[in-house]
Amino acid sequence: MIGGGVFGTGVALEIAKSGRGVRLLEKKKIASGASGGPGRRGVRANGRDVRELPLMKMAYDIWPELHNDFDANPFFERTGNLLLIEREQDLRSASARVWLQQEQGISSEFISCDELREMEPELDQRIKAAIFCEMDGVCDHTAVTKAFEKRSQTLGAEIDENCFAVSLDIKNGRVKEVITNMEENIQVTGTLFVLSNSTASEIIKNQCGFHLPVWNECLQVMITEPIENFYLKRLVGHSHRTISLKPEKENCVMISGGWHGLWDENLCKGEIIQKSVDGNMADAICLYPALKNAVVSLVDCNHLESMSIDNVPIIDRIPGTSNAYFATGWSGHGWAIAPPIIKLLVEWESSGKKPVLLQPFGLERFMKFKSLYNLSN
């Protein structure tokens, strides 16, 4: 197993539960990448790509089970999610979005302007309506990842931090060995999973010569100091602004949504861009004017995220191998669907048959149009 985020630790846990041996390599520390950092992550179906909605339906059942099983508070909190609508063009398409989500079993409701004012009286008057998903919520991503780590270790999993793959020994279509920075040759007698979010594509390119349509970005998150007389209860998104708001402890607010920091490859850390801080806060104030008095106590952009060309993950076998799988390109919203994908990856590995719900995320989606073009010529 390569990668110590939620997917690596989660798959390690599922394999350890079955009584099999598992060894996980993490380049830095567990939860040091996109599965760690300040604040909480959104667990939302609202506004997702239709290919991910069946996974979210599964996730709705799994997240509360994990919350109860690990007894970590606040592991998962069901807050509901408002997708705010400001422009007329987004208002016209809202009913189609509600229908699409309902067709996939996602409880979704169009909220009129008057209804929205009752739910969120502090919203700016520019907001015309919203789509509400009552089953959405937020989750402590760092706590989840570390809980997976600890539980897998109690079941016999080996976890090596500050250890990463330098190369793979591939023979006759199978990964035979993983050679590490510690000059250790680890025998792969079963299956290899490459689940290191920001480095998976580099490993595959260097070892297999296969280029994935993904890249890395360091996305900014901000946490405010406690805000007097302002009470955010729900996960809040927006139909076109780059903004996400989440309630935090002690009446603080997490402000994020996709504004960028600047990644320093030499220092392996992000550099805060003041323009991004100001832009993110300006968007937040446009939604909730009361936030104009908020004081930002923390800004973080030290956790790289892999982005895919079509904004959904790539999950497949490593090309040219029969015993190696990878997943990357989570595009800033893979967290919510992690629990079902973890289970489906292990199901695929153990049965040899790719689960139906993972089929839309394979590499073939980038190849089929080329095949059609070649056939037509």
Tens of pLDDT, residues 153-180: 999 999 999 999 999 999 999 999 999 9
pLDDT at position 372, please? 46
**Top-confidence residue, 46 or 73:** 46
Q: What is the pLDDT of residue 367?
A: 83
Q: What is the pLDDT of residue 75?
A: 81
Residue 74 has a pLDDT of 57
Contacts of 210 (CB under 8 A, 6+ apart): 204, 318, 319, 320
Grade residue 375 by pLDDT with cuts at 50, 70 and 90.
very low
Q: What percent of the chain has pLDDT over 90?
A: 92
Residue 195 has a pLDDT of 97
Question: What is the percentage of the chain residues whose pLDDT exceeds 70?
Answer: 96
Q: Which domains does the chain have, with CATH numbers?
A: 1-80+138-213+309-377 (3.50.50.60), 81-134+220-302 (3.30.9.10)
Question: Which of the four pLDDT bands, split at 50, 70 and 90, describes residue 96?
Answer: very high
pLDDT single digits (tens) 173-208: 999 999 999 999 999 999 999 999 999 999 999 988
- Confidence at residue 73, expressed as pLDDT on a 0 to 100 scale: 63
pLDDT value, residue 376: 43
Q: Using CA atoms, how far apart are residues 261 and 115, in angstroms rounded to an integer?
A: 37
Flag whether pLDDT at 373 surpasses 60.
no
Mean pLDDT of 139-153: 95
Tell me, what's the pLDDT at 212? Answer: 95
Contact by Cβ (8 Å): 341, 327: yes
**Is the predicted pLDDT of residue 369 greater than 90, yes or no?**
no
Judge whether residue 377 has pLDDT over 60.
Answer: no
pTM: 0.94
